[in-house]
Amino acid sequence: MAVLAQIPGLNVAIVECHYQALNEYEDGDNEQSQGAEEDQRTYELTRYIKSKTGAKFGIQIRFGEAFVTEYGIRMEVRIDGRGARTMILRPADLRTYGGQFVCSYKDEQRNSKRYHRDFQFADLEVGEHALSCVEPRSPM
């Protein structure tokens, strides 16, 4: 479960879609980082998990009693650097729901039917075939 020291009461866990939390591992080289602007409190924390290809997963977000706020909360779930889901919760909702469980990308509506795509672990590509050409940056 990822816990940020700067935000007491907020707990985030990667879970199988039947709510079983997966074991998380720390990255020894990674440190918690804070947003550059003082008035914008953005925190990042990286954890790794073991998974099976094709397994579906979700993200469980819980706000405990230690989490105190007068304002609404905007949460953004990013997977592989891409925005997957954004939620806004009012302060009253934090206790009412007891936590959010997110296991699919944004819903889409087509021909008056709603569709969603589950979060699912993909094959891990390693080796020469997984490399992408990156253009060098021009000096500033």
pLDDT of 15: 82
pLDDT of 89: 82
Query: How far apart, in whole angstroms, are the C-alpha atoms of residue 99 and residue 93?
Result: 9
Looking at per-residue pLDDT, the higher value among 129 and 105 belongs to 105
pLDDT of 107: 67
Instruction: Give residue-wise pLDDT tens across range 44-75.
Output: 777 788 888 888 888 888 888 888 888 888 88
pLDDT of 90: 84
Residue with tokens 């907020």: 10
Instruction: Give residue-wise pLDDT tens across range 78-107.
Output: 877 778 888 888 887 776 655 677 777 766
22-46 in b/e form (b: 16+ CB < 10 A) is eeeeeeeeeeeeeeeeeeeeeeebe
